[in-house]
């Protein structure tokens, strides 16, 4: 535990030292939205979002690039050092495949998000769509999710889910489809939630603390180290992301950490508990999905606006109020999810 806590602190200090120069660099290369224009999956402008967030135009986006860089570089460095010092690493799964799966989720979804961010910031005039079209983005995500599912099934032998009070339920090869769905769903859920200052990054912290407890309970040091490094970097990032934000995660960060969150839940065999721990993310993507399907097939809206946090803004809630109450709910949901997972 002392080792993992030390790595958390080191990750926090390293990110804190780099983040201000990184923000300045984003300004220099103009990695920021020139104007606050967003569109839905059909290419139509989302005027409600633009109304509440027009003052954020010009804020740098791409904080996920720094966080991913810090986490990957420290993680890649720490294992040779631990081996040299003779510190034992306990694993539930073979070390190399587990590390490969963790970092493939982080880097593959981060790459999809980075491409989408670049297209948003430098290709607005070339297409009516703000970033990648939904079908193209989903296709890339499903492909990456399926690869991760195959890795977990064939490399690690994971083919089950754990349901509280019922125990392990074997899925066989269907686990690959299940894993792909969970990974894509959580990647997009975090991305959709990342619409208010500090909302997604704060909720991610609470979810990660819950998964940290679960990884420690099964003595998976590899996973615990990864979670600790992510928590440390996110805390440093959150200082500059809370209202009024100086930097945003961007799709590169939101998709990467959402996918990694799902992969950690799958590795722990606790995806049902993860749904509870990440309950706010689930509510956000559910509201968006219902709105999307209703507009497409029923030709009308179920909600005045979506996702959930935008609807709360539309009815008069201030942004910090929404974020703080979401954080409080997230803390309780994390405690409930961890309790269910430990039953």
Is 50 a domain residue? no
| pLDDT class of 49 with cuts at 50, 70, 90 | low
Is 129 a domain residue? yes
DSSP state of 245: P
Strand partners, 162: 168
pLDDT in tens, 139-177: 999 999 999 999 999 999 999 888 888 888 899 999 999
What pLDDT does 131 receive?
54
Residue 220: is its pLDDT beyond 50?
Answer: yes
Is 247 a domain residue? yes
Strand partners, 160: 170
Q: What is the number of structural domains in the chain?
A: 1
Which stretch of DSSP H or E encloses residue 264? helix 250-268
Residue 53: is its pLDDT beyond 80?
Answer: no
Supply the DSSP string of 124-188, one letter for each residue. GGG-SSSSS-HHHHHHHHHHHHHHHHHHHHHHS---EEEETTTEEEE-TTHHHHHHHHHHHHHHH
Residue 133: is its pLDDT beyond 80?
Answer: no
Is 75 a domain residue? yes
Residue 57: is its pLDDT beyond 90?
Answer: no
Helix (H, G, I), strand (E, B) or coil at 212: helix
Antiparallel, parallel or unpaired: β 167-170 and 160-163: antiparallel
| pLDDT class of 198 with cuts at 50, 70, 90 | very high
Is 41 a domain residue? no
Distance set, CA 82 to CA 135, 212, 311 (Å): 43, 20, 49
Please tell me the pTM assigned to this model: 0.91
Place of tokens 């039953």: 343
CB 160 within 8 A of CB 269: yes
Place of tokens 């040299």: 84
Is 152 a domain residue? yes
Measured distance CA(71)–CA(306) in Å, rounded: 33
Is 233 a domain residue? yes
Place of tokens 């300004």: 27
What pLDDT does 38 receive?
53
Measured distance CA(49)–CA(66) in Å, rounded: 26
Place of tokens 């990440």: 278
If you average pLDDT over residues 270-299, what whole number do you get? 92
pLDDT in tens, 222-257: 999 999 999 999 999 999 999 999 999 999 999 999
How many residues in the chain? 343
Tokens standing for 53?
């967030």
Tokens standing for 85?
């010092």
Measured distance CA(322)–CA(311) in Å, rounded: 10
DSSP state of 54: G
Closest CA to 179 of 120, 266, 115: 266
CB 304 within 8 A of CB 310: no
Residue 180: is its pLDDT beyond 60?
Answer: yes
* Residue 53: CB atoms within 10 Å: 20
Distance set, CA 280 to CA 78, 112, 274, 329, 339 (Å): 33, 23, 11, 8, 17
Q: Domain of 157?
A: 2-28+59-342
Is 37 a domain residue? no
Write phi, then psi, for 248 (nearest 5 degrees): -115, 160
């Amino acid at each position: 535990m002392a080792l993992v806590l030390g790595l958390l602190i080191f990750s926090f200090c390293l990110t804190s030292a780099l983040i201000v120069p990184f923000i300045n660099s984003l300004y220099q290369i103009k990695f920021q939205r020139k104007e606050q224009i967003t569109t839905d999956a059909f290419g139509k402008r989302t005027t409600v979002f633009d109304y509440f967030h027009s003052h954020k135009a010009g804020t740098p986006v791409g904080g996920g690039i720094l966080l991913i860089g810090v986490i990957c570089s420290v993680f890649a460095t720490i294992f040779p050092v631990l081996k040299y010092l003779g510190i034992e690493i306990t694993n539930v799964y073979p070390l190399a495949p587990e590390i490969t799966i963790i970092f493939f989720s982080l880097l593959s979804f981060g790459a999809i998000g980075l491409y989408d961010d670049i297209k948003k910031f430098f290709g607005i005039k070339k297409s009516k769509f703000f970033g990648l079209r939904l079908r193209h983005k989903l296709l890339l995500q499903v492909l990456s999710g399926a690869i991760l599912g195959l890795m977990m099934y064939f490399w690690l032998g994971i083919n089950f889910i754990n349901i509280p009070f019922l125990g392990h339920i074997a899925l066989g090869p269907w686990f690959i489809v299940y894993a792909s769905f969970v990974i894509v769903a959580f990647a997009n859920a975090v991305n959709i939630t990342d619409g208010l200052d500090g909302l997604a990054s704060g909720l991610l912290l609470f979810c990660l603390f819950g998964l940290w407890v679960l990884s420690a309970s099964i003595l998976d040091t590899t996973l615990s180290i990864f979670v600790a490094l992510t928590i440390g970097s996110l805390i440093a990032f959150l200082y500059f992301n809370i209202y009024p934000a100086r930097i945003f995660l961007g799709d590169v960060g939101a998709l990467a950490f959402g996918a990694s969150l799902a992969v950690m839940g799958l590795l722990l065999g606790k995806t049902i508990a993860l749904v509870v721990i990440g309950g706010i993310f689930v509510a956000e993507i559910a509201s968006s999905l219902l709105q999307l399907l209703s507009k497409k097939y029923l030709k009308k809206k179920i909600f005045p606006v979506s996702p959930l946090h935008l609807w709360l803004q539309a009815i008069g809630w201030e942004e910090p109020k929404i974020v703080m109450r979401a954080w409080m709910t997230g803390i309780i949901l994390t405690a409930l999810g961890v309790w269910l997972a430990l039953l």
